Amino acid sequence: MIRQNVSVDREGLYKTMTNLLGFTRTGENIVTRYDESIAYLKECGLLNVDGSEISIVEKNSNINLHEVYSVCSTNREVLKIKA
């Protein structure tokens, strides 16, 4: 969804994802999991978050879901080394 729209509003993304997952409402537990996922992908360097706007980091715009774990694992190790 983010790739198709360049950037998305957090609330709109959460509503769309909730519908795609087959839920009828976005409860507190779902929002918590979405927030954790967005934070993780941001920490990995895959997403930019500016207030409520979420976008894919340009250098990762063509990444597929199978590569996300690899990129996140590598970036987290780099962050640990720098700390």
pLDDT at 61: 55
pLDDT at 44: 80
pLDDT at 47: 87
- To the nearest whole percent, how much of the chain has pLDDT over 70? 64
Domain span at 23: 2-82
Measured distance CA(83)–CA(70) in Å, rounded: 20
C-alpha distances out from residue 74 to 19, 38, 44, 45, 82, Å: 32, 17, 8, 10, 13
| Residue 49 neighbours by CB under 8 Å, 6+ apart | 38, 42
CATH number of the domain at 31, please: 1.10.10
Query: How do residues 51-65 score in pLDDT, each as one tens digit?
Result: 999 988 876 555 655
Q: pTM to 2 decimals?
A: 0.68
Provide the domain count of the chain: 1
3 sits in which H/E element = helix 2-5
Measured distance CA(63)–CA(18) in Å, rounded: 23
Q: Which amino acid is at 23?
A: F
Structure tokens that stand for 18 in this block: 């909730």
